[in-house]
Structure 1
Amino acid sequence: MALGAVWAALVVLLGAAMCFSAWSLSCARGATVGARGVAPSARARAATERWGRAPSELAVAADGLAPNALRAREAASWAEYARTPPADSPLNRAIRPVLDAVAVRREVMLAIANDVMMCTNPKTCWWDGGNILASFIEVNRAANITNYLIIALDDAVGAACRAARAPYVRIDLAVPDAQKGSRGANMISTLKYELLADVLLMGYAVLVVDLDLAFLRNPFAHLVRDADLEGSSDGFTRGWAGGQLASVSDRSMGWGGGGLYSQLFTINVGCVFVQPSPRTVALMRRVAAALRAKPAWDQQVFNEILLSPGYAERPTHGVSLRVMDHLLWANSKTFFKSERARFFPGATASAPMPVMVHMNYHPDKHKRMVCVIDRYLHGKPDACDAFPGGSEKGT
C-alpha cells in the first residue's frame, strides 16, 4: 500500500510539472486571442469593443495572429482600407445632410447617374432610346420608395431631378485614369465603391442600384438583413443563383477519379444591399483600389474579391453574403426567358409580382423596362408578351 501511494504521488507531481511547463511556454510566446486559452491583448480587446467582434479578417500582426509575414502584410492592407475618413471631408459635407433627410432607419437607396441615362444624345444612348432616369423615378414613386437618393454627376441630371421632385445631390466624382476609355456605363459603375465606403462609414446601410431596374414593390420590405451583404444574382435558375455542386470524373485515377466543385453565378453589382461594418468598408475600398490600378470590369473585380475564400497569402475578408431570391429580385433573363411560364401565364391568369426586374441581359433596356411598368403598374397584362425571351427574334 505504501509503495502504491508513493507512485500515485509521483504521478501527480509529474502532471503538475508538465502543466506548469506548458503554461510557462504559452506565457513566453506572449498573450494571444482568447480562443487560444489566454487573455486577448489590449489591442484585440479595443478592436472588439469598437466593432462588436474581434476583427479576424483584419488580422493584426502585432497580436501574433498572422501565421506568416506575407499574410500579415495582406491583412494589414485590409485594415488600411477600413480607415475612417475625415469628418469634414467635402463628400461628407455634401452628402451627409441629404442622407439624414431621406434615410429611413438609417437605410437608403443610392443610384449614380449622368445625362447618358436620359438619352439626350442618341450616339451615347446605346439601348435603343428612352429616358431611363425618368422611368426610374416613376417606378420609385409608384412603389412608395421615399428613402432613395440620386447622385447627379452633371447639371443636366440635377435639373431633371429638380423638375421631377426627386431627391438628389450634385457631386463631381472623377473616373479612375485606368478606367477612362471604357464603356460609359462601366466607367460610371466604377465610381460607386469609394462613395459606398464613405457612406458606410457614416453609419448608413445602402441599397446601391443601377437605374435600369423596375421596382414594383418597396425593396426594403423584402430584405432579410442577416448578412453583411445581400446581392442580386446574374443566375437564372435556383441552382445557378443560390449555388450548387457539380462533379468531375478522371478515369485515369480509377477509384479516386471523382470530385465535386461549387458553381455560383456572379453577384450583380447593380442591386446590392450593404450593411455598415469594417468588413464591408474594407471590401469596397479593396475593389476601388483594384479599379484604380488597371483597366477592368468592376463587377468582375468585385466578385473575384467577394467570392474568393482565404487561400495561401490571401486573408479571409469576413464579409458574409446572402444571395437574393432570383424569383423576387429578377434579372431580365429570368423574367423574360428561364421563368417565362411563371411570369407570362396568359392575359387572364394571375402572375406573381417580383420585387424588381433588372434589365441587365437585354440591350433594349428601356423598352422592356416600360413594358414591365405597363404590365404591373398600369394594368396591361400583355404589355411584355411581344418581347422574345432572348435578344433575338424567335427566342
Structure 2
Amino acid sequence: MMTGRRQGVFMRNDGQLLCRSQIAVAIAVGTLLGYVFAFLFPHGPIQGLGITKANFLVGISCSRNAVPQSYISMSELTHEKLRLAEQGKVHAEKQVVPVLGHEQHKAGPFEFGTVIADEESVNPRLAKILAKVAVRKELIVVLANSKVKDMLEVWFNSIKKVGIPNYLVVALDDETANFCKSKDVPVYKGDPDESIDTIARTGGNRAVSGLKFFILREFLQLGYSVLLSDVDIVYLQNPFDHLYRDSDVESMSDGHNNMTAYGFNDVFHDPAMGWAPTVDTMRIWVYNSGFFYIRPTIPSIELLDRVAARLSRLPSSWDQTVFNEELFFPSHPGHEGLHASKRTMDLYLFMNSKVLFKTVRKDANLRKLKPVVIHVNFHPDKLQRMKAIVEFYVSGRQDALKPFPDGSDW
C-alpha cells in the first residue's frame, strides 16, 4: 500500500513536472515565434493562415492546463505597442517630409536647419560681396583696424600662400580698407555706425574682438557659414578641408592636451562629508572665441544675439567668457540654456600657441606634424612669433622657434 501510494505520488509529481517543463518550452517557443511573426507580419493576422499569434499560443497546452491567460495578454499588449509605435513612426515621417523635403531628418548635416536668406532686407551690398568671395556658402572672416596692420599682412599672406580663395577682411576703418584694396585682398567696410566706429577707432583688443558678435549676425542671416578668425593666426593648410560641419559651432580650444581640450572628470574632495566625501565634476577648457566655425542656424544666431546683448550691457566683459557661458551653461532656475550643438576642433590641427611653444616644438615626433592653423593667443609678442611660425613651417628653418620662452616675460 505504502509503496504503491508513494509510486502514485511520484508518478503524479513526475507528470506535473513534465507538464510544467512542456509549458516552459511552449512559452519559450511561443515567445520566439511571436518575435518572428511580429517582425515578418507587423500588422496583425498571419496572412494566408487565418490565425493570430494569440490563437497560436492558446493552442499550446499540456493536458487540461493551457498557457496562462496573463502571458497571452502580455503578448498581445507587446504586439499592440509595436503596431502603434510603427504607426506613429510612419505618421511622424509623413509630417516631416513635406516640411523638410527630405526622406529622413537627421540631426547635424550641413543642409538641415539653416536659415532662409533674405538678401534685400538684410544687407544687399554685403550679399553681393559674399556671392563673389564665398565657396559653397562658406568663408573666413576677420575683423581688423589699422592698429593691427602688420599682423593682418602676415595673416592674409599665409592664406594666399596656402591658396585659400574664400576669405574676407571686415575693415573697421578706412585706412584698413584702403590697405586691403592695395594688396588685392577682399574687403568689406560696413555702413557708418557711431557706436561701432568709436570702438573700432579707440577700443582695445577685447573691445574690438567683441564687435564680431554684432557684425557676424548679417553673415548668418544671409545664409553663409563663417570661419571667424582673429588676426593673430597663421594658416598652414586650408581649414575647410578639416571641418566636420555637424554642429552649430565648431571651435578651437584653449586646452593644451586631450583632457583639457576635450573634457575630463575632476573629483572634488570634501572630507567633512564623511561617508560621501567625493563628487565627480566635469571640466573642459574654454573654446577660443577668436577662431570658430559657425553655421547659419537659429541656435547660432541666438548665440550671437545673447553674447552681443550681454556685451552691450557690460562692455568691460571679456567676449570669450560670455561666449563660453552662453554656449555651455545648461538650463536652470532663472536661466534657459542655449540649445546649440558644439564640437571641439583637433587641438594639434587647430593649435594654440601654448600647445606649440610648451609641447610641440620640444617633441621630435610632434614637430613633424603640420597644423592647419596656429593661433598666437597665449603670447603678447604676436607679430614676432607669427613670423617665426612662418619661418619654421613654411621656410623650413628648424631653429626659428627656439629663441622664444614657453610663456611671456611678463
TM-score normalized by the length of structure 2: 0.69
- What corresponds to 1:231 in structure 2? 251
Contact 2:227–2:292 at 8 Å: present in 1 too? yes
Q: Which has the higher mean CA deviation after the structures are superposed, 214-223 or 184-193? A: 184-193
Give the AA of the match of 2:360: E
From 247, 258, 265, give the equivalent of 2:278: 258
User: Distance in 1 between the 2:129 and 2:303 partners?
Assistant: 25
Would you say the 8 A contact 1:109–1:209 is kept in 2?
yes
- Does 2:175 correspond to 1:144? no
Letter in structure 1 aligned against 2:369 = P
Secondary structure in 2 matching 1:256 = coil
1:279 to 273, 296, 299: 299
2:234 is matched with which residue: 185, 210, 214?
214
User: Could you tell me how far 1:226 is from its partner in structure 2?
Assistant: 1.8
- Specify which of 371, 377, 392 is matched with residue 375 of structure 1: 392
Q: CA deviation at 1:98?
A: 0.9
Instruction: For 1:11-22, list aligned pairs within 5 A.
Output: none
Q: What RMSD, in angstroms, separates the aligned Cα atoms of the two structures?
A: 3.7
SS at structure 2 position matched to 1:214: strand
| Distance in 1 between residues matched to 2:132 and 2:201, nearest whole Å | 36
Structure 2, unpaired ranges of 5+: 1-68, 74-87, 108-113
CA distance in 1, matches of 2:140, 2:277: 49
Aligned residue number for residue 100 of structure 1 = 131
After TM superposition, list the pairs within 5 Å mapping 1:1-395 onto structure 2: 49=100, 87-89=119-121, 92-118=123-149, 131-172=150-191, 173-175=193-195, 184-295=204-315, 296-342=317-363, 345=364, 351-392=368-409
Identify if the C-alpha distance between structure 1 residues 176 and 260 changes in structure 2 by more than 3 Å, giving closer, same or farther. farther
Q: Provide Cα deviations, 1:175-233, integer angstroms capped at 9, x if missing partner.
A: 46997999521121121113222211211111000010001111111112221111001
**2:267 aligned partner, one-letter code:** S
SS at match of 2:147: helix
Compare 196-205 and 368-377 and name the one that shifted more. 196-205
Q: What are the superposed Cα offsets for residues 66-104 of structure 1, whole Å, 9 maximum, x if unpaired?
A: xxxxxxxxxxxxxxxx99897434x61221111111111
Task: Please say which structure displays the higher CA radius of gyration.
Answer: 2
Contact preservation (8 Å) 1:85, 1:198: no
Q: Distance in 1 between matches of 2:119 and 2:168?
A: 21
Change (3 A) 1:247 1:137: same
Q: How many residues align?
A: 322
Say which structure, 1 or 2, has more relative contact order (CA 8 Å, 6+ apart).
Answer: 1
Q: Is the 8 A contact 2:294 2:300 kept in 1?
A: yes
Q: Percent identity over the alignment?
A: 33
| Secondary structure, counterpart of 1:389 in structure 2 | coil
1:291 and 1:171 map into 2 onto residues whose CA distance is 20
Matched AA of 1:194: F
Amino acid of the structure 2 residue aligned with 1:193: F
Report if the CA contact (8 A) 1:132-1:211 is conserved. Answer: yes
Query: What is the distance in 1 between the residues matched to 2:115 and 2:175?
Result: 34
Tell me the TM-score normalised to structure 1 length: 0.72
Unaligned runs of 5+ in 1: 1-7, 13-35, 56-81, 119-130
CA-CA distance at 1:340 after TM superposition: 3.3
| Structure 1 residue ranges, 4+ long, deviating more than 6 angstroms after superposition | 44-48, 50-55, 82-86, 176-182
